Amino acid sequence: MAQPKYRTHVGMVDILPGEVEKWQTIERIIHEEAQKFNFEEIRTPILEQTELIARGIGQLTDIVSKEMFAFERGDDQYVLRPECTAPVVRAFVEHHLEQRGGTQNLYYIGPMFRAEKPQKGRQRQFHQFGAEILGSDDPIADVECMAFMMSVYERVGITNTSLKINSVGDPESRDAYKKALADYFTPHKNELSQVSQNRLEKNPLRILDSKEEEDQTLVAEAPVIGDFLNKESADHYRKVKQYLDELGLAYDEDPHLVRGLDYYTRTAFELVSPDLGAQDALAGGGRYDLLVEEVGGQPTPAVGFAAGIERLILACDELGIKLSKPKSVDLYIVTIGDKARSWALQQLPIFRQEGFSATMDYAGRSIKSQMKDADRENARYTIIVGENELNEGTFTFRDMEASEETQLPVEEILDRLEKKLDPQE
Ligand code: HAM
């Protein structure tokens, strides 16, 4: 077969029929769980101002320094959003959402873009669902975020996961910790990878996130932030763990967990799956108490998470979890001749109105090909109609699975369908 002339860009994937049903199932579960947790959906544009993303996520992060899809148009600098926390915070500030009163519990589902090297579980256009609670510094908000996140995996049936948590402290605690890290790594500078040597000067915290083999021994022995948390941050972290315990949400403390975005303060968490291979992070999040102010709003503590939908689906595939039923249609009308085709076209809305899925042949095929097509479409029932049936007002109603046929008027066919099938929602 000739190669097609046009293809998707590297790392960007078409979600085709057969696959898309899995997405629909997951999206339905997310919406249902969000409703139970009293979160409201927010939809922000795919394009944001580059400055917002750079400031929000941090100039030195991989996302901003290497992975942005950014372009200029006139005087404006656009970027395809690499994540949705900064955009949600922008929307919160821009539309004064705090004036609605209470905390803003928001969630989203949508595509994000990062120019990373594609591999299994890593794409350049990928999808996240996520949630942000704006306006609370209560550890209960942190735990509710994690509980919402976990509820989706539980509903889907992914339970073999590990929830890693840490506190990255407030700026005061972190400054003390950064200094301790610099003091620890500097005498070993030459043993570090080149990337980490650069990070040592700019932000030694980032070294903890290093994937380079040669850094691992030093990283394992590095000081832990827990020893540098001031009383407020330590109390907050203790409460988060207490509430998680009380909820029965299992977690593993990872004192070296730092996240790849700069806005985090205090709680940081990641959900990992042993079923995913190298890209094992299903989801991640944490608290970002300074971000709202950073992008021009009033000081507003906040916490949130985002989860990769492709990785969730990969984990389901690995575990053999079926997210969708094979496609099927309740009724296929097989027609012989033009009159029958017109009749069928007029009957379809009647069945659909009653809640059944119904279709017919669109290609003027022979009766044999139409029966084959009905099989391929996985039709539960067929009606076979030709001139004789039209004259007599009774039609061949065929149960495809049982291979049984009866001659019936349309009203009785409807009646039978109602008895045999649950109309689709
Ligand atoms: P993140 O850790 O950068 O956090 O991304 C969250 C999740 O998105 C990852 O755990 C992963 O499942 C998925 N993900 C990220 N990059 C890719 C990729 N290239 N291909 C496929 N999946 C990917 C955030 O984005 C923060 N906004 C989370 C957050 C919300 N923090 C506070 N609120």
Q: What is the mean pLDDT of the chain?
A: 95
pLDDT, greater one: 413 or 205? 413
CATH of domain 329-420: 3.40.50.800
Q: Taking residues 242-265, report their average pLDDT.
A: 94
| Contact in structure between 200 and 182 (CB atoms under 8 Å) | yes
Q: What size, in residues, is the chain?
A: 425
**CATH architecture for segment(s) 20-170+230-319:** 2-Layer Sandwich (3.30)
pTM of the complete model: 0.93
Cα–ligand 1 centroid distance for 355 (angstroms): 39
Cα–ligand 1 centroid distance for 51 (angstroms): 20
- Is residue 86 very low, low, confident or very high in pLDDT (cuts 50, 70, 90)? very high
Tens digits of per-residue pLDDT, 38-79?
999 999 999 999 999 999 999 888 999 999 999 999 999 999
Tens digits of per-residue pLDDT, 280-292?
999 999 999 999 9
Q: Please, where in the chain does CATH 3.40.50.800 lie?
A: 329-420
* Closest ligand 1 atom to 260 CA: 3
* Closest ligand 1 atom to 270 CA: 10
Residue 366 neighbours by CB distance under 10 Å: 10
For ligand 1, atom 31, name the residue with the nearest CA. 285
| Contact in structure between 273 and 160 (CB atoms under 8 Å) | yes
Mutate to test the pocket of ligand 1, among 112, 120, 148, 262 (most ligand atoms within 8 A of CB): 112
Q: Please, where in the chain does CATH 3.30.930.10 lie?
A: 20-170+230-319
Tens digits of per-residue pLDDT, 115-173?
999 999 999 999 999 999 999 999 999 999 999 999 999 999 999 999 999 999 999 99
pLDDT, greater one: 132 or 423? 132
For ligand 1, atom 33, name the residue with the nearest CA. 304
Tens digits of per-residue pLDDT, 210-243?
888 999 999 999 999 999 999 999 999 999 999 9
C-alpha distances (whole Å) from 352 to each of 17, 49, 374, 381, 410 are 21, 45, 17, 14, 14
Q: Is the pLDDT of residue 1 over 90?
A: no
| pLDDT of 92 | 98
* Closest ligand 1 atom to 283 CA: 10
| pLDDT of 423 | 57
Cα–ligand 1 centroid distance for 260 (angstroms): 9
Mutate to test the pocket of ligand 1, among 48, 126, 164 (most ligand atoms within 8 A of CB): 126
Q: Taking residues 10-26, report their average pLDDT.
A: 97
| pLDDT of 419 | 87
- Is residue 425 very low, low, confident or very high in pLDDT (cuts 50, 70, 90)? very low
For ligand 1, atom 8, name the residue with the nearest CA. 308
* Closest ligand 1 atom to 130 CA: 30
**List of residues 6+ apart from 424 with CB closer than 8 A:** 330, 355, 356, 357
Tens digits of per-residue pLDDT, 315-348?
999 999 999 988 999 999 999 999 999 999 999 9
Ligand 1 within 6 A of CB of 144? no
* Closest ligand 1 atom to 312 CA: 12
Cα–ligand 1 centroid distance for 396 (angstroms): 54
Q: Taking residues 182-190, report their average pLDDT.
A: 94
